[in-house]
Chains A and B, each alone.
Chain A
Amino acid sequence: MESAGRDLVERARCKDAQAFAALIRLHERVALSVAFGVMGDATAAGDVVQDAFVRAWDRLNDLREPERFATWLCGIVRNLAVDYLRRRKPAESLGDHKSPVAEKWTHDPLTELDQRERCQGIHAAVMSLDEISRPVVVLRYYEGMASREIAHLLELTPAAVDMRLSRARKQLRLLLDDLDISRRKPIENSAKD
């Protein structure tokens, strides 16, 4: 896969748009994970990722080592995400998103409300992590990456990734256990009624 990625980068450097489109498909989830990890807002992360890929296309000749495309791209994504957050008006809230999970499940208002609260709870729990641990957690659980790959992308050591994952899981478990208890109450009450 790495050699295929390298080949795609080399072709994209020669302004092969199809090769670059293939690179986008290959790395879009990783880029989204990093952007969401920094920003905590899926739509804004999507905005940043699309800008990052366009910037990468325009500046592809600045990339010295084609095999490090993903790391280089993640750097662009991080910088753009930080710039975006800096520019964003203070009134806009990071957690002001509507999760598609809540939208797709049911039309039952009670269950829908329950799901929305649950999503907001998980989102708040993830956002309570520090800014280095957040991308680590998103890359692990969204992209299913191994610690070594995460370390390579975020320029950390695998041990540091493991340590951050371990701490993040403990923190999330604590927060989400509370959420699970509170979430069941309205359903049980409504069943009794």
Chain B
Amino acid sequence: MSSEHDQLDPDDSLDATLREFFAGTLNGQIGRAEREFQLHLRKQAKAGRRQRTLLILAFAGSMAAMIAGLWASPLLRTLVPVKSELTLGKSGSPQTLPTTPVSDVVEHVTKSQTIDEGVMLLEGTPMRVYRRQAIDQVNTLDGNDHLKSQETTPSDTLVFVKMNTY
């Protein structure tokens, strides 16, 4: 399809004037769109990185909360109030527990004795030796399951005390 204006007379001053005017006016804008597009791509990439960071932080936060929850759950269980009366002890002597909330550690007994072992020389220095023997006994009770347990920890410690010589 040919049209009247497809071939313009190159000598036409009007055409030349218009071409010159439009080129002079618009050529300065060429290239802006591509620069803006590259900037847009960089912004998108930056936003993507930020979003990924936020996702990772959110994931890490939720994992931390989950681990904290798991860690705290035995403590939380012990805060459940015990409504029934319970007995403790091996001897069968009944002990009444209050109905207020109790911890799972219901009794902690430490028995100890200290013996003077006398004086000894350690690398030429006179030292007094003390022996400390102790038994730690912890009774625990699971409020939910009504399970009793007892943990006994013996310990034997030697303490050296330097003696001043005159």
Contacts and interface: CB of A to CB of B under 8 A. Distances in A.
B109 interface: no
B106 to A, nearest CB: 66
A142 B22 contact: yes
A142 B26 contact: yes
Contact of A176 (B17, B19, B37, B40): B17
A100 B33 contact: no
B117 interface: no
B34 A172 contact: no
Interface string A27-54: 0110111001000001101100111111
Interface of A: 17, 20-21, 24-25, 28-29, 31-33, 36, 42-43, 45-46, 49-54, 57, 97, 99-101, 104, 119, 122-123, 126, 137-138, 140-142, 146-148, 158-159, 161-162, 165-166, 169, 172-173, 176
Interface in B1-39: 1, 3-6, 14-15, 17-38
A159 to B, nearest CB: 8
Contacts of A33: 22, 26
B1 A99 contact: no
A142 B37 contact: no
B3 A162 contact: yes
Interface of B: 1, 3-6, 14-15, 17-38, 40-41
Given A141-B15, A162-B4, A31 B20 contact: no
A42 B5 contact: no
Which of A42, A43, A45, A161 has most B Cβ within 10 Å? A42
Given A21-B34, A24-B37, A101-B24, A141 B19 contact: yes
B25 A29 contact: no
Given A21-B37, A25-B34, A43 B29 contact: yes
Given A17-B41, A53-B37, A122-B17, A45 B5 contact: no
Nearest to B14: A173
A165 to B, nearest CB: 5
Nearest to B30: A28
Contacts of B23: 142
B32 A50 contact: yes
Given A17-B41, A50-B37, A100-B24, 12 more contacts: A36-B25, A42-B25, A42-B29, A45-B29, A46-B29, A53-B34, A53-B37, A54-B37, A97-B25, A101-B20, A122-B18, A165-B4
B156 to A, nearest CB: 73
A28 B3 contact: no
